[in-house]
A and B are shown apart, each in its own frame.
Chain A
């Protein structure tokens, strides 16, 4: 078939251009390490990459949430552990005070210590986070969890908001613990069988008053109540421990998910260097061949042989 001279040259330059383009693309891929440099490089895969990136961003935000929840849980744990220790000390002192061998004057000093230990628990119950928000106030974070009411009693001032937070696509976990769940009340039954709820700090106050006034009956009641206060604190600690476990577990779940997503993303988007380099060599060879053959063939002309 006849090929016109112009067409021959056109085709030759076009093909050289194509091979060069391929080479440039491979070079770009090699320098970025990515199979898909621009979304338009692989329109069919671009949406997948975007989706994966979005998923990854979400997992990262869950992990951030877990971090802040964990910080909170650690603060709670510290406060509750210390409370538990202080309660133990109060119980020791009360048992000591309940002993008949003690003189009322000695009880006075014991009562003084119990009172100061109560104050210590109060400051633990009003633990604040780094932003100055009260940990145990429920959602009323601007207000100390426990404070004195008009009658001078220390009462719970927060609310009972028990909030959850999303830490996975289908996983929510406890975010906070209202102070009324950690610093529990005790129920006192009087001689008529009438039940009244006594707040955590009021129970401690009553105990220290009983010690001060050497009231043995009330001291016994108080010691018994300390056990139930202790129980409440332990329950709360157990809850915090469980939540911390959830954080750990969820963290590893998220790590796994992230790894899986990253692998998929890498498979889609990242460059296979071996095949890229092979391709580059191949293209290079093709370009060289095309160049040299063009140079040679274009030399061939009948006119060369005419004189």
Chain B
């Protein structure tokens, strides 16, 4: 009814609702996220009457939520942006305050450290300042650790913040999903309540504070949220489903975000903004670089400080040790930095080297010394990379000396390395030459003028102003260069076998006789092979090596050459008494009464009598030179001396005596010939056959034993015998020294293949040089004739010896031991040695039998003291060797070196030794103290092989251990002498005309203030007691100013980091300020639409109240109108 009553009634209802909407607005004035609501009034459809329309009143069309999607999304974005800066500002400030703080920051600790170093440098001897320095170092170390710990703390905190933020995100996304679920009931936005929309927007706004989000709204208002760059990437709310985010815990110290960490995991690398992004930015841009730089700084400080420390000398005179160390178990290097020195005296303040001006210097020249560092030697000490560590001749390098060049360099040998260089295939006159860089020749042959001129140049590794000296050439031990153990020639040393006592513990090594085997003796053409004097064996010059007439060289010749022969020749013999010392034992034959002119009888009688005296049949007497002369030889090669002839009555002399002791008796080396082929049994190939000396070995054998039997069955025709020894098949010649021929084609068609798997050829005989140690020396002071003496079980009669005068007793004892009437014989000869000691010599053929001293021990190990003062033992050849080494070291080894011969004098060469099947080596043992240079001189082609051991020494430490004296022998000449050995290391020219004359020895540089006087000396040695020296501490002080990190000092590098962090903090501050303004505007923009203003509401209240009141009045009027009509009667 378009009547007044209806209109008013509707209006009252509408305004009542409008008023309640206003009061709802007023009620929610402080509700967070509330959007103001407004009523929309609409006039209802008019009614038509005739041509007129009448209004039918008002209707409440809608309660509208005041909302602007653009303002809302703008607010979300600006909230994210602003929230990003918050952690940056907050935490960067924290880092800033930590790093820049005086008590936690590094700067003050560094200042402290360097100040302590500076103080110490001004008084390095002060133990107080040393301690202060150590404390400051500890302070620096712990400051690093503390700072690292503080940064770690910030790291932990930010990580926790990141975790809790992620949790908050998860809570919010779950709620949004729930809201979505609620809204799903309606298919249109209009169907959603204002409250749920407010809730949705509030949640989104809260989420955007935590992280930047992308949203997409469905038509019914449900929202999908993503953290990626697009709405479909990294979706955290997908309709009614929320996906959680979390932190990657798989890598320690990593703070990367993951989507759905327990489900279908995705990386969240693109998530940014909000607090979450801000925290991440802080970690990656501020914290991690700060930690990394701090760690790098710690490492640098440790390395630099330790370098300086280890380059100096501490208060005890020792090389400095590391000052700082990093704890390898701590991930952050800075956190594990600590001081490792705990003794303040171990702080290295002093320089490595020191120079002293000798007190007797007449000039006042001041000297200073500096170690400039040496070039790095090759790691194995050998500069020639082709020279491998293999002494086998086949591994050698070929060295050619030809044309105008009189030498070819082989290699340099760095100090500290022991080596032996072998020269093979040497042409006559070719030599190995070993020199120091200063031209001191150690091994080889004295250089000719041409060789000196060509060789001693810097190009060959010599010092520029070096001079040549052969003062130490081929000398070893005390007489040698720096007492070095060096040798040139062929050598075999006493071997040492490891033995174990009854408990299985290692006993002192057992000395074993030195053995030197030659190669197969080449069957050279007949004639003189080696000139007399060219070769020297153990200090004894050998005679010439000459073959028998018209016979090729054989091993027997070589053995005879080395052994020599003991013989006494008596020309024009005419004697009836004969006396000689044989092996130190005096043999006296009297009353020979020869038949005149019957020398044969004389010889026979003499032989019988001598053999009887000697107690053996080693001595032979024969006639030589057409039976004109008598010759007495000793098969054992004993030393012969003191020959006296008692002349016949009436004759003026007994004859002319020539005595030649065998070489063995002088050199202590015995040579024996052998001829054999040795094959490891596993090398044997039984599918092949064997033909030796032209005879095929027959028989059906399939193993070594069968082979040995088959060969031996063919004796003597085959000329060899076979045996198995130490896993090797040994085929040796039946005739001493005869060659063994291994033939080809053992069966037709087999060619050079054979059972032995060896090249078919003629295998010549060899010579084995063995050291002889027959003598047991007993000091005369140890002999007590009142006690019993037993030798090899034979008791020696000592009765009555004490009654003799003191001077005669020892000889008398020797005579008793030598008494040929004893039965059984003790098997030894006694003599008086060079030092007046009693010498017992075993008389067995090989000289290896034990000399047993008794009476023996009791079962409990106790024993009766014997007259020789020795423990009752079997004194073996090893024991005697040990004694030999002590008494006469020159005979302790087998050493074949070169001597000079002929006129003009020439020197024996490796080519000579090679003729005797021996290999020449330059032996440098125990490591050289200097670099050595190795050359080959002499025209031709040869091969050099080497074996080496040890590593090059640190030249600085090497020099520190030395004491060098620089002495001016003339105004322009100086020598450098090793003070310990007195060896002259260098003799050089001093050029005073250059601007800064420098004396350089292996990197050690001596500078003089002005020219010294002749005779002035300067001693350079490793600083051992220079407690007051501050040179090294000055280096530590200089570290403060040294650009060690790029072009920055340590302190500046740290300050730079503070600056970097400061800049970031500043930047974050400014950005935050700017973004706050933006955010404020966004808040205001949203608020303009959705906010509740109480004044506005009051106005609306009044407005709707008035309308309500007016409608009510209209209703009243309509009632009155109705009453008026009703009252009309």
Contact = CB atoms under 8 A, between A and B. Distances in A.
B389 interface: no
A44 B118 CA distance: 31
Interface residues of B, number: 86
A46 B1027 contact: no
19 contacts: A2-B1093, A3-B1091, A4-B1092, A7-B1087, A7-B1091, A38-B97, A40-B93, A40-B94, A40-B97, A44-B1063, A50-B1055, A54-B1051, A57-B112, A65-B121, A65-B122, A141-B125, A159-B355, A302-B1098, A306-B1101
Given A43-B1061, A58-B111, A197-B360, 14 more contacts: A3-B1091, A3-B1093, A4-B1093, A5-B29, A38-B100, A46-B1058, A46-B1059, A131-B128, A139-B1030, A141-B125, A141-B1028, A160-B366, A184-B364, A187-B362
Sort A-B residue pairs by CB-CB distance and give the 7 closest, nearest first. Answer: A4-B1091, A39-B100, A43-B1062, A141-B1028, A61-B115, A57-B111, A302-B1098
A139 B123 CA distance: 10
B993 to A, nearest CB: 24
A166 B123 CA distance: 12
A65 B118 contact: yes
Highest count of chain A CB atoms <10 Å: which of B350, B1029, B1092: B1029
Nearest to A180: B357
Nearest to A137: B1028
A109 B1081 CA distance: 109
A47 B356 contact: no
B114 interface: yes
Contact of A2 (B122, B357, B1065, B1088): B1088
Contacts of A160: 355-357, 366-367
B1029 A161 contact: yes
Given A39-B100, A43-B1066, A164 B1034 contact: yes
B7 interface: no
B99 A39 contact: yes
A58 B125 contact: no
Contacts of A180: 357, 359
Contacts of A58: 111, 114-115, 1040
Contacts of A61: 111, 114-115, 118-119
Interface in A1-59: 1-7, 38-40, 43-47, 49-51, 53-54, 57-58
Contacts of A50: 100, 105, 107, 1055, 1058
B1094 A5 contact: yes
A302 B1097 CA distance: 9
Contacts of B359: 155-156, 180, 185, 197, 199
A75 to B, nearest CB: 12
A2 B1088 CA distance: 5
A199 B361 CA distance: 10
A293 B1102 CA distance: 28
Interface in B1045-1093: 1051-1052, 1055-1056, 1058-1059, 1061-1066, 1069, 1083-1084, 1087-1088, 1090-1093
B118 A302 contact: no
A161 B125 CA distance: 14
A93 to B, nearest CB: 27
A159 B356 contact: yes
B30 interface: yes
Interface in A175-205: 175-176, 180, 184-185, 187, 195-197, 199
Interface in B140-170: none
Contacts of B1059: 46-47
Contacts of B367: 160
B1096 interface: yes
Contacts of A155: 359
Nearest to A46: B100
B56 interface: no
B366 A139 contact: no
B101 interface: yes
Interface residues of A, number: 66
A215 B1062 CA distance: 84
B440 interface: no
Contacts of A81: none
B contacts with A: majority SS = helix
B945 to A, nearest CB: 48
A60 B115 CA distance: 8
B1037 interface: yes
B100 A5 contact: no
Given A2-B1093, A57-B108, A166 B1065 contact: no
Given A4-B1093, A65-B118, A166-B1037, A142 B1030 contact: no
B118 A139 contact: no
Given A4-B1092, A61-B119, A169-B1041, A163 B1029 contact: yes
A102 interface: no
Contacts of A53: 102, 107-108, 111
Nearest to B1013: A195
B726 interface: no
Interface in A52-83: 53-54, 57-58, 60-62, 64-65, 68-69, 72
Contacts of B1093: 2-5
Interface string B22-39: 000000011000001000
A7 B97 contact: no
Contacts of B1038: 166
B122 A68 contact: yes
A180 B361 CA distance: 11
B96 interface: yes
A140 B362 contact: no
A133 interface: yes
Contacts of A133: 125-126, 1027-1028
B1055 A139 contact: no
B589 interface: no
A301 interface: yes
B1095 interface: yes
A122 B194 CA distance: 108
A60 to B, nearest CB: 7
A165 B1087 contact: no
B507 interface: no
A29 to B, nearest CB: 16
A245 B1031 CA distance: 23
A275 B1029 CA distance: 55
Given A43-B1061, A43-B1065, A65-B122, A139 B101 contact: no
B1026 A65 contact: no
B1098 A6 contact: no
A162 interface: yes
Contacts of A176: 1028
Contacts of B451: none
Contacts of A156: 359
B110 interface: yes
B368 interface: yes
B1084 A39 contact: no
B880 interface: no
A84 B784 CA distance: 73
A246 to B, nearest CB: 14
Contacts of A195: 362, 1013
Contacts of A139: 124, 350, 354, 1023, 1026-1030
Nearest to B357: A160
A24 to B, nearest CB: 16
B1099 interface: yes
A222 interface: no
A5 B107 contact: no
Nearest to B355: A160
Contacts of B30: 6
A144 interface: no
A47 B115 CA distance: 20
A143 B102 CA distance: 43
B703 interface: no
A47 B1037 contact: no
Interface in A112-169: 129, 131, 133, 137-143, 155-156, 159-166, 169
Given A61-B114, A161-B1028, A306 B1013 contact: no
